[in-house]
Amino acid sequence: MIKRLVGQFNIIGKAVLGSLAPSLYRLAFVLFGLLLGLVWAYSFDPIKFKDAEPVHLADGYKDQWIKMAAVEYASSADTEEAKQKIVKAGVSPDMIQDLINDNQATDPQLAGQLQALLQVANDNESQANKQADKVESGFIGTVLGPVACFFGAAIIGILLALVFTFYFTLPIGKWARPKAGQVAAGGGQVGVGGTQKAAAEQKTDFKAAGEVPPVSQHMSIYILGNDLYDDSFAIETPEGAFLGECGSGISETIGVGSPKKVTAAEVWLFDKNDIRTVTKVLMSEHAFKDQALRSKLAPKGDAVMVAPAMVTTLETQTLRVQIRVVDLQYGEGSLPPNSFFERLTVEIAAWPKEDVSGTGKSQPPDTSAAFGDTAELLNY
């Protein structure tokens, strides 16, 4: 039971972490845009309010406005001027009465002046209420407005995320946009698009060889500098029924600094019927001969030393996967010879153990006869 749960966790974890990795770059762009917008809004083009009226004053400032109007009215007895101040600020009799109650004990003189102004407010209440209606927002302004802004921003964000996902992310996954070239550790140019095309041309033609074609056949390419290398591919029948998943990713690195120096990759197979994940660890020559490193990686899966044209297999209850090393190139530098990959291309082909294509064959072809099971030979 525990092994099954671990297998499910492994496959889900690979998918989730693989999808999150490119998102870090999109998140960085979002944060940069947010910071740039704040700097622009507060430094270069700040909001400027104009054509405001006394009715737009906040409550605290409006209280001060009423008190000043009461003091001026007490000294000048100009009813018309007091009326204008009351109406322009949209002052209701209740506002003045509240101020009278608040100041009755602490400032009787001001309370008396406010009492005189209260009569003016009572006489002009309808006009003041009409003025106050200018700033009283209804349901649309207070609720629908912010909600519409939120959903509008969300839609724009989703559209931008889709653009970045399908056109501007790192060359990872089947949706990646190929780049013209990528700088390798040795200073040369590695054409990613050219590498993918060349790898596709080296796919095994099982049908031409008279064998049952796999239901899933993919090329997984690692190039030095792709620190987020983690491919995964669905295994489905021709009718679209999901059987499981397979993929390849970084298993172990060596040395320090950037880019990562990958000394071992891992190819895994998840069988939905078996509910477990099996793994082959493809180790560099140096890693395979390092007993301490082999012991460290032993819990991940069976260790295999990679070599050009090497073929090995993974099997579960209902699936069989053939792994073939199509291209292998070691990196050079201060690290031990043949200790990390500069380029590694593996072909991953999967068959169901029970026939799903109507060919009448119950088992996938034993391709070790064609390629030689070099994995077992290299282990000796």
- Domain total of the chain: 2
Which range scores top for mean pLDDT: 62-71, 147-156, 159-168, 212-221? 212-221
Q: Say whether both 188 and 329 belong to one domain.
A: yes
Question: Strand, helix or coil at 271?
Answer: strand
Give me the percent of the chain exceeding a pLDDT of 70.
73
End of a domain among 101, 132, 163? 132
> d(Cα 261, Cα 202) in Å, to the nearest integer?
26
> d(Cα 285, Cα 277) in Å, to the nearest integer?
25
End of a domain among 74, 106, 132? 132
What mean pLDDT comes out for the span 276-280? 92
Q: Higher-confidence residue: 172 or 337?
A: 337
pLDDT at 14: 52
Task: With cut-offs at 50, 70 and 90, classify the pLDDT of residue 362.
Answer: very low
Task: With cut-offs at 50, 70 and 90, classify the pLDDT of residue 199.
Answer: low
Q: Say whether both 350 and 309 belong to one domain.
A: yes
- CA dihedral sign of residues 189, 193, 194, 198: positive
Q: Say whether both 271 and 339 belong to one domain.
A: yes
Task: Kindly report whether the global pTM for this prediction surpasses the value 0.75.
Answer: no
Q: Say whether both 235 and 357 belong to one domain.
A: yes
Neighbours of 8 (CB within 10 A): 15
Q: Say whether both 99 and 228 belong to one domain.
A: no
pLDDT at 306: 95
**Segments forming the whole domain that contains residue 120:** 54-132
Q: Say whether both 105 and 196 belong to one domain.
A: no
Helices (H), 124-191: 125-132, 139, 145-167
Confirm whether 161 is domain-assigned: no
What mean pLDDT comes out for the span 302-324? 94
Q: Say whether both 222 and 79 belong to one domain.
A: no
Q: Which of 318, 247, 190 is closest to 17 using CA atoms?
A: 247
Task: With cut-offs at 50, 70 and 90, classify the pLDDT of residue 348.
Answer: very high
> d(Cα 224, Cα 336) in Å, to the nearest integer?
16
Task: With cut-offs at 50, 70 and 90, classify the pLDDT of residue 361.
Answer: very low
Phi first, then psi, for residue 325 (nearest 5°) are -80, 110
Does residue 265 contact residue 249 with C-beta atoms inside 8 Å?
Answer: yes
> d(Cα 377, Cα 380) in Å, to the nearest integer?
6
Kindly report which listed range (78-82, 122-126, 168-172, 181-185) carries the lowest average pLDDT score. 181-185
Give me the percent of the chain exceeding a pLDDT of 90.
33
Q: Say whether both 318 and 225 belong to one domain.
A: yes
Task: With cut-offs at 50, 70 and 90, classify the pLDDT of residue 172.
Answer: very low
> d(Cα 172, Cα 179) in Å, to the nearest integer?
11
- Mean residue pLDDT across the chain: 78
- CA dihedral sign of residues 304, 217, 279, 373: negative
Q: Say whether both 20 and 79 belong to one domain.
A: no
Confirm whether 276 is domain-assigned: yes
Task: With cut-offs at 50, 70 and 90, classify the pLDDT of residue 177.
Answer: very low
Q: Is the pLDDT assigned to residue 300 strictly greater than 70?
A: yes
